[in-house]
Amino acid sequence: MKPKVDLSVYVITDRKLAAPRSVVEVVQAALRGGATVIQLREKEAPTREMVELGMALLRVTRPAGVPLIVNDRVDVALAIDADGVHVGQDDMPAALARKLIGPDKILGVSAETVEQALLAQRDGADYLGVGDVYGTPTKPDAGPPIGLEGLRRIVEAVDIPVVGIGGITPDNAAAVIEQSAVGVAVISAVFAAPDPEEATRRLRAAVEAGRQRASGERTL
């Protein structure tokens, strides 16, 4: 049975930004700070390294009760029995990924348009990673930022949870949540931070602040 996932603070790995620290060290700090999902995303890592790193991450995420999602590599996700997989628009089609991982694993899909979001929902996605919201240097091939308005349009069009991604920091995360996104996904905000634990804690606080403000607006 598929577990219910808290998508509040979704932290994505980056070995280069982590250095000289290890990916596992930064993830451990993020978990202490309140990260609710970890995604293994290492585009240039060979398969063996991905498997070894994924297994090392599972040894810290599983005891914390936090899901580990593997970006793009369905084979690696299945090999290490990760909790799920996330695919982008240039990766394996979502419907095929769902067929391979089965009904009980988590499937996330990247989207930047309403059309992509609706297709991903139809093809079995459990959640969407939507952006880039503000623009980000970690994905130079990304299109122009969709902004908060673009994020809101997608949130309103689908019935599955939406996580905002792209240039999100503790200072602007609350605004993302106010668009009815359920969480924020970050790379550099945690992996490039001098203190990843504190950065994650600030993100978690910003998410909660955004929810409170959004709830207040709805009750007016």
> pLDDT band at 135, cuts 50/70/90?
confident
- Sorted by where each starts, the structural domains of the chain and their CATH numbers stand as 9-219 (3.20.20.70)
DSSP per residue, 99-117: HHH-TTSEEEEEESSHHHH
Mean pLDDT to the nearest integer, 25-38: 98
Quote the tokens at residue 6: 């808290």
Alpha-carbon gap, residue 112 to 126, rounded angstroms: 16
Q: What are phi and psi of 129, to 5 degrees?
A: -100, 110
Give the model's pLDDT for residue 129.
98
Give the model's pLDDT for residue 173.
98
DSSP per residue, 167-189: S--TTTHHHHHTTT-SEEEESHH
Asked whether 82 and 74 are in contact (CB, 8 A), the reply is no
Active site annotation includes 105: no
Helices (H), the chain: 15-18, 23-33, 47-64, 74-80, 94-101, 114-122, 147-157, 173-177, 188-191, 196-219
Selected catalytic residue, list 21, 99, 139, 213: 139
What angle, rounded to 10 degrees, do the helices at 47-64 and 23-33 form? Answer: 20
Alpha-carbon gap, residue 183 to 5, rounded angstroms: 11
- Is the pLDDT at 141 greater than 80? The verdict is no
Give the model's pLDDT for residue 218.
61
Judged on CB neighbours under 10 Å (0-12, 13-18, 19+), 185 is buried
> pLDDT band at 89, cuts 50/70/90?
very high
59: number of Cβ within 10 Å: 10
Selected catalytic residue, list 98, 110, 201, 202: 110
What angle, rounded to 10 degrees, do the helices at 114-122 and 147-157 form? Answer: 30
Mean pLDDT to the nearest integer, 41-49: 95
Residue with tokens 């793009």: 72
Mean pLDDT to the nearest integer, 37-53: 96
Active site annotation includes 99: no
Active site annotation includes 139: yes
- Is the pLDDT at 138 greater than 80? The verdict is no
Give the model's pLDDT for residue 143.
72
Alpha-carbon gap, residue 133 to 151, rounded angstroms: 7
Mean pLDDT to the nearest integer, 9-34: 98
